[in-house]
Each structure stands twice: as C-alpha cells, then as structure tokens.
Structure 1
Amino acid sequence: MTAVSFHHPSLNRAQSISILAGAAIMLSLAMGMRQSLGLFMQPITKDIGISAADFAFALAIQNIVWGITQPFAGALVDRFGTRLIALFGGLLYAGALIITAYATAAWMVTLGSGLMIGVALACTTSGIAAKIAAKVVRPERRSLAFGLVSAAGSIGTFFCAPLAQGVIQTSGWQMAMFAFVALAAAMLPAALVGGRADSVPVDGPSGGPAETMRSTLGEAAGHGGYIIMAAAFFVCGLQLVFLTTHLPTFLADCGADPMLSAQALAVIGAFNVFGSWLFGWLGDRYHKPLLLGGIYILRSVAIALYFTLPVSQFSTLVFAAVMGTLWLGVIPLVNGLVAQIFGIRYLATLTGIAFFSHQVGSFLGAWAGGVIYDALGSYTLAWQLAAGIGLAAGIMQLFMSTRPTERILAAQRAAAAAE
C-alpha cells in the first residue's frame, strides 16, 4: 500500500508543521488559561466579597457568549481567513484578564472573565485551529491533524494551572492574572504564523460554485446525524466545565491540599495530549460515532465512581488521568465528521454552530453547579445529573448517520472519474 503524505501538496513538511504549530500554540494558551480560571474562585470571592455563584455565573456567561459568538467568528474566518480574527481574539483576551485583575465587584469579573474572554475564545480556539489544520493536511489525515492540534489545548493546562496556583500562593491572585496577560500576549505571534494557512488552496472534493453558506446551512439543518451530534455535544460542555469550575472548591471542602486541584488540572492536561492524539488517530480508521459515544459513556462512569468513592490524592489523580484521556478527544471526531459530511469550505461555521450546543451545556455546568452548591452545600446532585445526562447522550451518539451530503458524494464521484 502506498503511504499517504500528511501535508498539503503545495506545502513542504516544515511549512505544514510550522503552521500547525502556530495554531496549536494559540489554542494551547487560550484553553490553558481558560481551564485554569476555577483556581481563582476562592481567592477572588474572599478578596472582593462576592459569592461562589457570582464567580460561577461569570464563567457561565463566558461559556454561553463563547457559544453564541463561535458561529459568527467561524463565518468570518470562512469568509476572510483566520489571521485577523485570531489577532483580535488575542488582544481581547489580554484586555479581559487586565479588567479581571483590577476587579472590585462581581460585574467586573463578569465583564472580563465572562463576556470578553468568551468572545476571545471564539476567535482563538478549536474552530479557528480546526480550519487551519484542515487546510494544511491531506483529507485522509484530517482527524489525526485535528487530534494533534486539540492536544495542544491541554498542554496549556499542564503548565497554566500550576503556574496560576503557584503565583496565587506566593504573590496573590492579581499577580497570577497578570502572568496570564503575558501568556495572552504570546498568542499574537502564534496567530500570525498559523494564519499563513489562509493562502493554502483547498485539497480534496470541492463543493463547486453551487456551494454557498445558505445552502450548506440548509444541508446541516436537514441532516439528522449532524443534529444528533450537536445535541450530544451539549453534554460534553456540561461535564467538562462543571469539573474545571467546581473541582477546586469540591476538593477544598474535602480538606485536600490547595495544590491538589492544580495538580489534577495539570494531569488532565497531560493525559489529554495522549487522548486527543489517540482519538484523532482512531478517527481516521474507525467509526467516529462509536468512538464519540464511548467517550461520553466512559466519562459518565468515571464521574459517578469518583464522586461516590472516598476522595484522596490517589483517587483524584487517577480520576484526572481518566478524564484527561477522554477530555478533548471529542474535538477531532466532531471536526472530522463535519468535514466528512459537508466538506471543509464552511467547516468553521458548522463546527461553530455545533459548538453553541456545547456551550449551552458549559453554561449550565458552571452556573447550575454553583447554584446547587450554594443551595445544598454540596455537589452531590450536580455530579449525579452530569453522569446521568452523559450516559443518555452517549447512547444517542452511537446511532447518528454519517452519510455525506449529495453534494459531497457527487464531488467525490467526479473526482474518482477524473482519476
């Protein structure tokens, strides 16, 4: 069998790797800081006199704003390219962190860490990185490329969480926030390098002149598999943001060392590097809906076991390792399915719409977790709901249709006939 090259025909290997690295670094920093914000809950709430629900609401706003703006950011990327959108996102991220560092009331935390970071994430994370990866690799290797770039999102958590916790303990939460401002500034050169993908022509079947955003959105609205996938994506957001937002407080209530929550987030990040690569690699070889359904089901089982059994450093780090392996493995599979069914012309738009569902779940995972905790004094009901909904979503995901649209099938037939 002839080996299939990884990179786009118009690029050499070094060019392809450098562009992917730019996208990966940008995603890594954006996601690493975002997933570490839960570490700031206790020091911020104590220092400026707001409740856990206030802080959780800010992160919930972040997630719902991210979800609402992601389709629009994706549409702008599909129309104008990635570079300008990503640069804007990096600048906005830095500004949001500065506002949060100077916060004296709940509304300032909501503006900075909520509204502004939400928009910044839409311009710098998975939708943008997926479009870059889809442009610079061959169609046969897209799921693997999506997985490699997604893995970068957890490399950021691997060092952002310990950095934040260490600076919080030694110099206070404001200095930790300014350390994140410096990381946000580093996103800008990464965006410039990753944005070189804008000049790379599309490799693979083309939708032809009849392909427009309106026609593609109509195809997506009528595709049952896409609708099921987007609905299941809701649970992904709910489970992950519940954990990143509330695990530090849960561990503090259990009397754990404050550094354990940072260690757990770092372990999640480390194992997700492997998990994202693994599911990207598997996605090029096996039925993606089975892999997606398996991720949701295994996550739910892990959550149920961890919150049921006695909490210790060992159980927490094992749980973090399991969840890390399953953390962002959904991203290469979802991106791969969208590319497989609809092509990549409007990949950022369609994944952005699916991501809105994810972020509605993220909103509920962050905000409802805080409301339940304030009302009942524990997270028991919250994790029970997270596990139960996850099992239902996993079963539903197993049966989605992956049939490409008639437009893509016709393009594939035409390409095969030309050969």
Structure 2
Amino acid sequence: MSSTPTLAHPPRLSTLQVLACGALIVTLSMGIRHGFGLWLQPITQAQGWTRENFAFALAVQNLSWGVFGIFAGMVADRFGASRVLIGGAVLYGLGLAGMALTTTPLTFALTTGVLIGAAQAGTTYAVVYGVIGRQIPAEKRSWAMGVAAAAGSFGQFLMVPVEGWLINDFGWQQALLVLGLVVLLIVPLAMGLREPGFGSGVPVKREQTIAQALREAFRYRSFQLLMAGYFVCGFQVVFIGVHMPSYLKDNGLSPQVASYALALIGLFNVVGTYAAGVLGQRLAKRHILAFIYFARAAVITVFLLVPLSPMSVYVFAAVMGMLWLSTVPPTNAVVAQIFGVAHMSMLGGFIFFSHQIGSFLGVWLGGVLYDKTGSYDIVWYLSIALGVFAGLVNLPVRETPIERAPQRVGAAA
C-alpha cells in the first residue's frame, strides 16, 4: 500500500482565467523576443562588433532557452507554473538590462544569450501549455493552445513596432531598459495561474516517474519525428526573424519595411495559430503539420524568385505569418494526446529543446555565412530543403494514446 497521499482530481481554474493570464504572459514574453532582430545593426555599429558576434549571442539565447526549458518544465510539473513564471520574469528583466549595458561580446553572450534564454524558458509556451493541458478539458485543449499561441503572435504585432519606436526615439540602450521594466508585468499575471493541488502539500497523482516518462517518450518513434520537425521550425523562424531586417536593408529597403514586415508576421500569425488550434480538434494534426512545413518551403522559394520590393516583402510576411507559430498548437496537442498531461511541460520542453537547436543553427549560420560570403543565400536554400524534410517526417506520426502496461510508481513521482 502506498504511503504517498494523492489528489486525483484537484479543482480546476476557470478557462477564462487560464487563457487570459496565459495569453498576456505569452504576449509580453514572445512579443519582446520577436523584436530582437531590430537591435542587430544598432548594437553592432555602436560596439564595433561583427554580425557574427550578435548572431552568436542570439544563438546562445535559443540554445539556453531549450536547455533550461527542460528543467523549467520539470519544476512546473512538480511545483506549479506560477513559481517558474515569476522567476523567469525577474531573469528576463535582468537580462534585458544586461543586454543594454554590456560592453564586450562575452558579456553580451552571457546576458543576452544565457540569461534571457533561461528567462524565456520560464515564461513561454512549455510552461503555459502545461497549465492549459492540466486545466482545460481535452475536448477544448487544441483550441486553447491555439488561443495562447495566437496571443504570442499578437504580442509580435503589438510589440515589434513599439520596440522600433523606442529605438528611434530613445536610443537602443534606453529602449532595452524600458522593456526590462515592462516584462515584470508577468509577475502579477503569474499569480492568476496558481493551480489547485500545487504548493498545498498534497502531491498530484501521477502514473509515471520522470524517468519512466522520459524512457517511454524517447523510445517512441512519433516523439522522435515530432522533435525532428520542430528542429526545422526553429531553424526557419529564428533565421528569418533575426536576419530578415538586415537582409532587407542590405538590399536597399528602409528599416521601416522590416519593422512592418515583422509586425505583419505577428498579425497574420494570430489567424494562423488560432486556425491551427481549431483545425486540430477536427483534422489529423500530423497532416496540419506536414502542410505547414511544405507551405513554408514553397513560400520562401517564391519570395526569393520574385523581384524584391516593399510589396513583395509584405506579401511574404503575411503568408509566412499564417505559418509562423502555427506548428505550436498541433505539436503540443499531439504530445498531450499521446502521453497524457502529467509530464506535459517536461516533454514539451524536450520537444522545444530540439526546436532551439534548430534556432541556434539558423541564427548562427546566418551570421557566419553572411560574414564569409556577404550573402544570406545559402541559409535561405537550407530553409527550403529543411521545410520539405519536416513535411515528410511529420506524415507518419501516430496520434493515438500510447498503451501502457501497469507499472509501479515510486514515491518520487
């Protein structure tokens, strides 16, 4: 007989409360993050650095986000998301201040890279989706994840022009310090996601230990395929988000075109992510994911073939925006559908770690290959090829719940 007390069915937070607080948190965290490409030229010109210096720090940020995301997910699953969100918000504020005040590439990589990456791990999708998975009924889960992802997209639409305005009117350093204060609004919002059963001294019932959940997931073919697809997602979106402003300026377009393009990506991604969440309730999620990746490859190909102009950039941004983060709801919904929600934040963290390895390579290779060749062409072509690959690997994903043999669960569960 187990001596560990359990709470099989703790009371739930209201759907409105979960979505409102979660959406606002993701709006702030992702909205600020999506504008970092606007700082590439101001910082490198002011500090006398190469684009590789800036790109390396952003690459470290994405890798740090992925690594710390695993542990943030574990802590959130065990002790509740609100504590992780509060800690992440404080780290985010400190990281933005460090990004503004640092004077060497090494300290820039430590603050902009490691610190902000750890902060993002605790304030974005893996943690918020864990709350949604536990608090929202399964029949509404994909839709709710689409709402949260759409909020992150709206944050990009809202925050990127604001960040551009702050840089132009107050300077790049002061703009970062202002954002460091703004991101602390996550702290009171996190209090709205304090889940019943966490922090009450009564552990939530779990069928598996962490080790059992990890062994099961990493031996499961569909989990491996989802990780491969998410790697490509990270490579594409972070390369475009960070390097497209400089790509456009190199080709004679004004900085305002880049700001408007990033904002359009965010605006249309509100529609794309919400639609992906809704469709995930009706269609096979693997088909949705395959379509998104194939479509990205096609859109990038057309963008490179047509003459570059502000109009072609805006059309590309709008269409790519529909596909931007629309992978997030179906990917996370499949994880919950296959493995359940008890360890969802942790498993989502591992999936996202694969995404961030792709992000690291996308942003870093963009800087390295530009410095070596004077062009982003090679990375654009890689993005197309990887899109086709990701579309293919998502097609055989199995979405049915995994069948588990009865197993003993230790007190550590």
TM-score by length of 2: 0.92
**Mapped partners of 2:30, 2:10: distance in 1:** 30
Cα distance 1:228–1:175, how it changes in 2: closer, same or farther (>3 A)? same
Instruction: Identify the residue that residue 147 of structure 2 maps to in structure 1.
Output: 148
Once the two structures are TM-superposed, the CA of residue 137 in structure 1 deviates from its matched residue by 1.5
Maintained 8 Å contact 1:10/1:200: no
Maintained 8 Å contact 2:228/2:393: no
Letter in 2 for 1:49: G
Once the two structures are TM-superposed, the CA of residue 127 in structure 1 deviates from its matched residue by 0.4
Instruction: Identify the residue that residue 3 of structure 1 maps to in structure 2.
Output: none
Instruction: Identify the residue that residue 185 of structure 1 maps to in structure 2.
Output: 184
Of 353, 359, 362, 1:365 maps to 362
**Mapped partners of 1:403, 1:353: distance in 2:** 20
Seq. identity, %: 39
Gaps of at least 5 residues in structure 2 are: 1-8, 408-413
Q: CA RMSD in A?
A: 2.0
Letter in 1 for 2:277: G
Maintained 8 Å contact 2:134/2:342: no
Maintained 8 Å contact 2:79/2:199: no
Once the two structures are TM-superposed, the CA of residue 108 in structure 1 deviates from its matched residue by 2.4
Letter in 2 for 1:269: G
* Regions of 4+ moved over 6 Å: none
Maintained 8 Å contact 1:45/1:51: yes
Once the two structures are TM-superposed, the CA of residue 239 in structure 1 deviates from its matched residue by 0.1
Q: Does residue 292 of structure 1 match 2:289? A: yes
Maintained 8 Å contact 1:28/1:155: yes
Once the two structures are TM-superposed, the CA of residue 210 in structure 1 deviates from its matched residue by 4.1
Letter in 2 for 1:23: G
Q: Secondary structure at the match of 1:311?
A: coil
Select the structure that is richer in helix: 1
**Mapped partners of 1:200, 1:324: distance in 2:** 39
Instruction: Identify the residue that residue 415 of structure 1 maps to in structure 2.
Output: none
Instruction: Identify the residue that residue 223 of structure 1 maps to in structure 2.
Output: 220
Cα deviation code 1:35-74 (max 9, x no counterpart)? 1101000000000111100000000000011111111110
Once the two structures are TM-superposed, the CA of residue 123 in structure 1 deviates from its matched residue by 0.5
Give the alignment of 1:28-177 within 5 angstroms: 28-177=27-176
Q: Does residue 280 of structure 1 match 2:270? A: no
Q: Does residue 319 of structure 1 match 2:316? A: yes
Maintained 8 Å contact 2:80/2:199: no
Maintained 8 Å contact 1:238/1:386: yes
Give the alignment of 1:269-418 within 5 angstroms: 269-407=266-404
Cα deviation code 1:230-288 (max 9, x no counterpart)? 11110000000000110000010111111111111111111111111100000011100
Once the two structures are TM-superposed, the CA of residue 197 in structure 1 deviates from its matched residue by 6.2
Cα distance 1:408–1:20, how it changes in 2: closer, same or farther (>3 A)? farther
Letter in 2 for 1:181: G
Instruction: Identify the residue that residue 410 of structure 2 maps to in structure 1.
Output: none
Maintained 8 Å contact 1:267/1:321: yes
Maintained 8 Å contact 2:78/2:198: no
Q: Secondary structure at the match of 1:402?
A: coil
Q: Would you say how many aligned residue pairs link Structure 1 and Structure 2?
A: 396
Maintained 8 Å contact 1:244/1:265: yes
Once the two structures are TM-superposed, the CA of residue 331 in structure 1 deviates from its matched residue by 0.9
**Mapped partners of 1:400, 1:117: distance in 2:** 33
TM-score by length of 1: 0.91
**Mapped partners of 2:333, 2:275: distance in 1:** 14
**Mapped partners of 1:21, 1:208: distance in 2:** 27
Q: Secondary structure at the match of 1:407?
A: coil
**Mapped partners of 2:398, 2:42: distance in 1:** 47
Letter in 1 for 2:315: V
Letter in 2 for 1:17: L
